[in-house]
Chains A and B, each alone.
Chain A
C-alpha cells in the first residue's frame, strides 16, 4: 500500500466532470455532477454489490443519483500490482473492535474499501441460494423467512448473471432448472480436478463453479489469462467486479460517483425524514441534500451509519424502532482441510475456486444441524496460505520453510458454511473515535452450537474426500468469510428494519440496499444474491416512483439535477 503504485488513495479522481475509464490506462469518461444544495433524488452510500447496482438502475430510469465511496477509484490495468502486500490497499483496514467468543477478522476476509466495494477482491464464486432458504423458517424450521418469493429472486439472478457474464456449466446439478449461463465454463485447474476426483470417489455430485471471470472477450476486456491473483484484484479486467460492470453503467447513465468520500451521518429534519448526508472529502466535512438516502455500506458500515445518525426524533439511531439495527450479524464459517498431493498442483494458477460441491446444501438427511454448506477447491497465494498455516498449526523454523516448500503440491477444500442469525451477534458503536471523529464500530460474534456441528460435519466429510482424492498429511484450519445481516428485511416492522423494498419502516425516504438485508446467510457466497436483490429493489423503487410513492415524487421523468 503505497504511493509507489498509484495516487488513487490520495487524489480525487472522480471530479471536475470526469471519472476514471476503468478499461484504459490514464483515460477518463465524462461524469455528470450535481449541486450539493440541490436535493438529488438519491444519495447512495457505498458502491459495492448494493450501491453500484442501485445507482446504475436508478440512473438508467432517469433519477438523479450521487453515490459515495470511502475508498479510491482505481484503474485496474495500471493500479493493480501482482503482489499480495501491495494489494492490501483494497481492504477496509480502519479499526473495528472485534469481540465475542469467536471474534471476526475483517479486512481481507470480508470488507473492501474502494469504488466497486468488496467485489474488487471477491473470489468470484457466483452461486444462487437454494430456493427453500428464502423461506427457511416455514420450509426448513430455522432462522427467518425472507419477504420475497424464490421465483422472483430466480428471475433477478438470471439478470445479474447476464450483467456480469458469469462463466458457468451447461447443466447445474442441484436445485430447479436454471437458464443458460451467458459464458462457457472455465477450463478446470489441477486444484479443481482434486475436488472432482474426491467427489466422484465419495459418490456426490460436483460441477465447475459459476465464476464471475470472463471466459470469452467482453467489450474492451479479454478473457481471463489464469494469472490467479483474483482475490487481490484482477489487473486484466476479466473479473466482473462492480468496478468494471455496474459502476461504468451508472456513470454512463448520468450518476455521479464521489470517491474518497466517507459518509459519517445521515441528516434528518424536524419531521424525522432524511434530508441528505454529511460526508468527509478533500479534507473537510460537506453536506449533500437528497430526497432519498440509501445506505449501502454492508453489514458493518450500514448499521454504524444508521446508529451514528441518531437525532432527537430518532434517539436510538435511524430506522431502529425495532431495536434490530446492527443485530443478527452473520458470517460464513470457512473451515478447510488441506493436504499434500503426489502430483504438482500449482494452485496459484487460474481462478482459485473452479470446482464446487453443493451436496450438503441440498441434502437434508444425515445432518445433525440446521442450514447447509458448499465447498470449493482452493488456490491461496503464498502469504495467504502461510498465514492460514501458522495461525492454525504453528510450525516454525526449518519445519515452516519445509511445509511451505510443498506449496505447489498442496490442495484444499474450504466451506462456505451457513451460520444461524442470532441477535447477540451484532454491531454497536464504541466510545472510541476514528481519525474523522466517527465512533469506531464494535462487533460481537460467537458461533452457535449448531454452527459448530455444521463445521465439524464438513471437516469430517471433506477430510474423507481429500484423502480419497489422494491427499496426505491432512490438516484442518478454521476461519470465517463474508458478512450478512445487521439490518434484516421482513414483512413485520416489529421484527425487521426495512420492508421487502429495502425501505425503512420508520423513515419513508431512507432505504438500505446491501448484504445487511439478509435474514439468513445461506451456504453460498453472498455476492450474487446481493446483486440480484439489489436489482429487485431497484425495480421496486422505480415502480414506486411511477406510482408517485417516493419522497417529493422524485420522478423518473428526466428532470435531473445539474
Chain B
C-alpha cells in the first residue's frame, strides 16, 4: 500500500505569494473583485445536514490534507462545495442514468461511512488519517461492497464527482496557486520570458525541486 499519504507536502515555492501582486499590473479590477469575494466570503452551510457536513470535511481533509495551515488559512473545501450544491450549479452535462450532484453527494458520503464501518468497525470520523486513506483507496480500486452505494459506481463517484469537485475548488484558491507556483492573475500585464527555465521577476521562484511523485502509470491495473 502507498505510504505517500504519510509524507508531508512541501512546496517548492516557499517565498511566493500571488496576492503580493494585488496592486501591480498583474491584477485588474474585475479579477480583484472576484478574488476578494472568494477570500472574504466563507459560505454558511445550507445544503448538507450537520453530520454530512462533518463527514464531508473529514473526506476533504483526506483527499487534500492541509496540516500546515491554521483553521483561518485552511481552504474551506466543504463550505465551498456545500454552496455549489445549494445553488444547484450544473456543468452542462448530466450523464444518463447517473445521479445529479445533489443526489450523488449525500449518497456517496453515506456509502463512504458504511465502508468505514465494514472495514474498521467504526465510522469514518473515528478513523485515523491512515485508516481514512485506506478506505478511500479501497473505493478507488473498487474493493468495496456495491450494496452500500445504492446505484452509485464507487470508483466513478470517487474520481468524477468527489475528486473532480475537490480539485476544482482547491486549485481555484490563491493558497493553492502559491504552492504550485502558478503565475495567477495576469491582466493587463502578462509575461515576457517564455523559454525553459526562464522567469519574469513577478513569477514564483522555485527554491527546491518538487518532491518525487509516485509513478502514476504503475498504479494502473
Instruction: Show the binding face of A for B, using Cβ within 8 Å.
Output: 1-2, 4-6, 78-86, 88, 91-99, 103-108, 111, 187-190, 193, 224-229, 235-236, 340-341, 343-346, 348-350, 381-383, 386-387, 389-391, 393-409, 442, 473-476
Contacts and interface: CB of A to CB of B under 8 A. Distances in A.
B147 interface: no
Interface residues of B, number: 82
A389 B219 CA distance: 13
Closest 4 CB pairs of A and B: A107-B92, A225-B190, A99-B96, A227-B190
B30 A81 contact: yes
B128 interface: no
Interface-centre pick from A2, A187, A386 (highest chain B CB count, 10 A): A386
Nearest to A228: B186
Interface in B167-221: 167-168, 170-172, 176-177, 179-192, 194-199, 203-204, 206, 210-217, 219
B163 interface: yes
Contact of B171 (A5, A187, A229, A382): A382
B133 interface: yes
Contacts of A188: 194
Given A78-B30, A83-B34, A349-B191, 10 more contacts: A81-B31, A82-B31, A98-B94, A190-B198, A340-B213, A382-B177, A386-B170, A395-B216, A399-B7, A405-B179
Contact of B203 (A225, A346, A387, A394): A346
Interface in B43-88: 62-65
Contacts of A398: 4-9, 65
A106 B92 contact: yes
A473 B213 contact: yes
Interface of B: 2, 4-9, 11-12, 26-31, 33-35, 37-38, 62-65, 89-97, 133, 136, 140, 155, 158-160, 163-164, 166-168, 170-172, 176-177, 179-192, 194-199, 203-204, 206, 210-217, 219
Nearest to B170: A386
Q: Is the interface of B mostly helix, strand, loop or mixed?
A: loop
B163 A396 contact: yes
B94 A95 contact: yes
A88 B34 CA distance: 13
Contacts of A108: 91-92
Contacts of B155: 394
A88 B168 CA distance: 11
Nearest to B176: A382
A93 B91 contact: yes
Contacts of B5: 397-399
B172 A402 contact: no
A409 B211 CA distance: 12
18 contacts: A4-B37, A80-B30, A81-B33, A85-B38, A88-B91, A93-B92, A97-B96, A224-B190, A225-B187, A226-B192, A227-B189, A236-B190, A349-B183, A387-B167, A390-B164, A394-B155, A397-B4, A405-B11
